[in-house]
Chain A
Amino acid sequence: MNGLTWETLSAWLAMGGYGLYVWGSLGMCAAVFACELLSLRAQRHALANVDAEAAGGAAQTPARRPVLTQQEQDA
């Protein structure tokens, strides 16, 4: 007894026959968190690209033009 519950890697992966359920749960969590982080990264790049375009520089992607706020229109 080495203090661990598992004797082999395949036994660990099989999860006593519940592998699909256990790994399906953990995998979905990992996938959801990864998607959220990637989406935040994409939003950050979009925000940066809008500025590059507005400044007359070559934007990487045809990002939306920022909607001018009232202050900007007045300026």
Chain B
Amino acid sequence: MAAQTLFRFAAPQTFYPLAGRLAWLAAGSAVVLAAIGLWIGLVIAPTDAQQGEAYRIIFVHVPAAWMSMLIYLVMAGWAAVGLVFNARLASTLARALAPTGALMTFLALWTGALWGKPTWGTWWVWDARLTSELMLLFLYLGFLALHGAIEDPRRADRAAALLALVGVVNVPIIYFSVIWWNTLHQGASVSLTRAPSMATTMLAGMLVMALAFWMYTIAVTLWRARLLVLEREAHAPWAQRARKALAGKGEGAGPGMGSKLGPSVGEAMR
């Protein structure tokens, strides 16, 4: 049964080794996609007729901005699942997504500023798109601060989940801000309902880079979730063994390079 499979993977000791393998798969994909995307974007794609070479910031700006919004929605979704079904792993995933979401938001703002200066003549303007994206950064930081301020992890999960859910309204505001208000920020170049208003090579580079950012996010989120699981399941024998395996790894091991330790359900359930 699909539902039973789902519940099986909701068990931390099943999730832990699986997440380790998936993370490396995602990380490998991210490296390959980024190499292809950067080659298309920085070497092959033609110069833009209006903006010259400055437009090439698009190859990191748009992926970062998309991820900043997407991560928030996924984070709020897992937080809601954790809240409603009292599922620890869902809450842990929400917590694991938040730092990467904050970083993506920061990158969207940073690259936006560096793009705004040569094209608009200013680093920053308080228009709807930029201001709502800045609010997104504060929502991520607020989520992390609130979670960190409450000692009991489950209470922290619940409080932070409420904050995340209230903040969801901000995401459509960011997305539609360029339509609802007269902003300095340009409208969407890519949408599901009409043909993209950019050259095919440029579009290809942007989409490949977006996929690379997506894979990177999956990899670091799973690595962080694994560490959070080990911390939070510290009482479980399987987690203690997994931590010993971590300690045994050499300095050269990559982030989150964990044991291939299989689950020991009997022991974990005691």
Given contacts A15-B56, A44-B227, contact A28 B110 (CB under 8 A): yes
A5 vs B42: C-alpha distance when bound (angstroms): 9
B165 within 8 A of A: no
Inter-subunit contact A51/B100 (CB<8 Å): no
B64 at the interface (CB under 8 A from A): yes
Q: Give bound CA distance, A38 to B47, whole Å.
A: 35
The distance in angstroms between the C-alpha atoms of A15 and B227, with both chains bound, is 41
- Closest-CB distance, A21 to chain B (whole angstroms): 5
Which residues of chain B are near A48, meaning CB under 8 Å?
A: 243, 246-247, 249
A24 to B60, CA, bound (A): 11
A interface footprint on B242-270 (CB within 8 Å = 1, 0 otherwise): 01101101000011100000000000000
Q: A-B pairs with CB below 8 Å: how many?
A: 101
Contact B53 A16 (CB under 8 A): yes
- B110 to chain A: which residues have CB within 8 Å? 25, 28
Is the beta-carbon distance between A36 and B227 smaller than 8 angstroms? no
Q: Decide: A47 near B227, CB < 8 A? Known: A18-B52, A18-B118.
A: yes
Chain B interface SS verdict (over half): helix
Q: Give, as a whole number of angstroms, the nearest-CB distance from A13 to chain B.
A: 11
Q: Evaluate contact between B247 and A21: CB separation under 8 angstroms.
A: no
When the two chains form their complex, are residues B227 and A24 in contact, meaning their CB atoms are under 8 A apart? no
Q: Does B57 contact A (CB under 8 A)?
A: yes
Interface residue count on the B side (C-beta < 8 Å): 43
Is B127 part of the contact surface with A, judged by Cβ < 8 Å? no
Q: Which residues of A contact B136 (CB under 8 A)?
A: none
Among B53, B99, B110, B254: residue with most chain A CB under 10 A: B53
**What are the residues of chain A within 8 A of B44 when measuring CB–CB?**
3-5
Closest to A15 in B: B53
Residue in chain A with minimal CB distance to B209: A29
Distance between Cα atoms of A57 and B11 in the complex (Å): 31
User: B78 near A: Cβ within 8 Å?
Assistant: no
Asked if residues A37 and B220 are in contact (CB atoms below 8 Å), the reply is yes
Please measure, in the bound complex, the distance between the C-alpha atom of A74 and the C-alpha atom of B256, giving whole angstroms.
Answer: 31
Which residue on B lies nearest to A16, using beta carbons?
Answer: B53
Residues 115-139 of B, flagged 1 when their CB comes within 8 A of A and 0 if not, give: 1011000000000000000000000
Q: How far is the CB of B24 from chain A (nearest CB, A)?
A: 13
* CB of B147 within 8 Å of the partner chain: no
Question: CB within 8 Å of A: which residues of B?
Answer: 42-47, 52-54, 56-57, 60-61, 64, 99-100, 103, 106-107, 110-111, 114-115, 117-118, 216, 220, 223-224, 227, 230-231, 234-235, 240, 243-244, 246-247, 249, 254-256
Can you give 5 contacting A-B residue pairs, CB < 8 Å? A4-B43, A22-B114, A29-B60, A66-B234, A72-B235
Not counting A16-B47, A17-B52, A25-B111, a sample of 11 additional A-B residue pairs whose C-beta atoms are within 8 angstroms of each other reads A15-B54, A17-B53, A18-B54, A21-B54, A21-B114, A32-B106, A41-B255, A48-B246, A51-B240, A69-B235, A71-B235
